[in-house]
């Protein structure tokens, strides 16, 4: 029993030793870069570094230039401390991005070199950063896009179904109309099937051909109008005369030209208009004979009274005329 108990203890010790050795081997392997690598430390502040772990690579232009040393939380953001190889110099204005080898692959920090002539010193910080892309957000966004696309396709499908139904109805209507036309129904059917219309159109075309032929031959008024050169010559002569008349007007020749060019006529007309305005104003004010005739009401009353007296006198004379005639006749008899 003692030998068994001792063997058990030895075996258990050996097992624990192997486990510890394995654990230390993994740890040493994981952090050997930090243990044996030399360089200077810089940092960068990110909004999100999901998937980024200590000892992950720091890369510039695809070349391994350092290692992620540690990650801590600062003011709600992730601050990443990086150990950069001594011979690698990072210029100020550089940009740090968290990237991955795949959608869910190992994350690493990529540094895009700056353009400043100055370099980031040990303990410095890269100010411009781009956080890691969250796979869940990407998948959520893709899901949203898929839903929008599905809604769009569903809407388009419904639209095309309505268009298809409308086309089917239109096709049925067209077929019905075509059938009626073939049967000679309606105006269109008669136009298509009635041969007399064709004959009439053919006869009209023949008459038009004869009319055009007569016009081309100079027959009739229209033919003479189109083909007679004398009309063109007369029109040209008239146009030349009109041009000459305009030139004479501009030169002040003739009566019309003098009226056009002579400013004294304009002045006389202006004076006449002014005099006429003065006369009209006097008439409106009741001045002069014409003004009194237009504006004086007493003259109207006198004329009206005179006309009334004339009418009364005329009526009296008509009434007395038979008596006078009788008296005259009696005197003659005596």
Burial of 319 (0-12, 13-18, 19+ CB in 10 A): exposed
| Distance of alpha carbon 272 from alpha carbon 264, whole angstroms | 12
Question: In terms of residue numbers, what domain contains 220?
Answer: 194-227
**How many domains, the chain?**
3
Examine residue 237 and state whether it is found in any structural domain, yes or no.
Answer: no
Taking 3-state DSSP, the helix, strand and coil percentages for the chain, each rounded to the nearest 5, stand at: 65, 15, 20
Query: How many other CB atoms are found less than 10 A from the CB of residue 65?
Result: 21
CA atoms in the 13 A half-sphere facing the CB of 135: 9
Instruction: Check if the beta carbon of residue 71 is closer than 8 Å to that of residue 49.
Output: yes
CA atoms in the 13 A half-sphere facing the CB of 244: 7
Instruction: Say whether both 93 and 169 belong to one domain.
Output: no
Instruction: Say whether both 118 and 141 belong to one domain.
Output: no
Tens-digit pLDDT string for the chain (334 aa): 445 566 666 677 777 777 777 666 655 555 444 455 688 999 999 999 988 999 999 999 999 999 999 999 999 999 999 999 999 999 999 999 999 876 557 899 999 999 999 999 999 999 999 887 655 555 556 667 777 777 777 777 777 778 888 888 888 878 878 777 777 777 766 666 667 766 777 788 888 888 887 777 777 776 766 776 776 677 778 888 788 878 777 777 776 666 666 677 667 777 778 888 888 777 777 777 766 666 666 766 776 777 777 777 777 766 665 555 455 544 544 4
Instruction: Say whether both 39 and 102 belong to one domain.
Output: yes
DSSP 50: T
Q: Which of 107, 111, 71 is nearest to 91 (CA)?
A: 111
Instruction: Say whether both 167 and 208 belong to one domain.
Output: no
Instruction: Say whether both 126 and 36 belong to one domain.
Output: yes
Residue 304 CA to its chain's centroid (Å): 77
């Amino acid at each position: 029993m003692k030998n068994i108990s001792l063997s058990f203890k030895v075996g258990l010790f050996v097992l624990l030793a192997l486990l510890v050795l394995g654990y230390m081997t993994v740890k040493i392997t994981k952090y050997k870069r930090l243990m044996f690598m030399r360089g200077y430390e810089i940092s960068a502040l990110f909004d999100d570094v999901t998937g980024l772990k200590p000892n992950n690579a720091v890369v510039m232009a695809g070349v391994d230039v350092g290692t992620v040393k540690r990650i801590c939380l600062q003011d709600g953001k992730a601050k990443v401390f990086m150990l950069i190889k001594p011979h690698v110099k990072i210029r100020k204005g550089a940009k740090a991005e968290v990237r991955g080898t795949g959608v869910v692959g190992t994350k690493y920090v990529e540094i895009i070199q700056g353009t400043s002539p100055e370099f980031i010193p040990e303990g410095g910080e890269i100010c411009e950063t781009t956080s890691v892309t969250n796979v869940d957000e990407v998948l959520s966004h893709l899901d949203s896009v898929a839903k929008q696309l599905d809604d769009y396709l569903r809407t388009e499908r419904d639209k095309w179904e309505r268009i298809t139904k409308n086309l089917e109805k239109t096709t049925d209507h067209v077929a019905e109309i075509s059938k009626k036309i073939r049967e000679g129904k309606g105006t269109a059917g008669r136009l298509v099937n009635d041969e007399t219309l064709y004959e009439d159109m053919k006869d009209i075309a023949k008459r038009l051909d004869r009319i055009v032929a007569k016009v081309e031959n100079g027959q009739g008024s229209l033919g003479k109008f189109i083909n007679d050169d004398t009309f063109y010559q007369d029109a040209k002569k008239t146009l030349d005369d009109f041009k000459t008349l305009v030139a004479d007007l501009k030169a002040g020749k003739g009566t019309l030209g003098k009226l056009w060019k002579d400013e004294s006529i304009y002045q006389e007309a202006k004076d006449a208009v002014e005099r006429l305005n003065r006369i009209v104003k006097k008439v409106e004010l009741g001045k002069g004979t014409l003004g009194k005739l237009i504006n004086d009401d007493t003259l109207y009353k006198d004329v009206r009274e005179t006309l009334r007296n004339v009418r009364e006198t005329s009526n009296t004379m008509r009434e007395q005329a038979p008596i006078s005639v009788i008296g005259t006749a009696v005197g003659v008899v005596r």
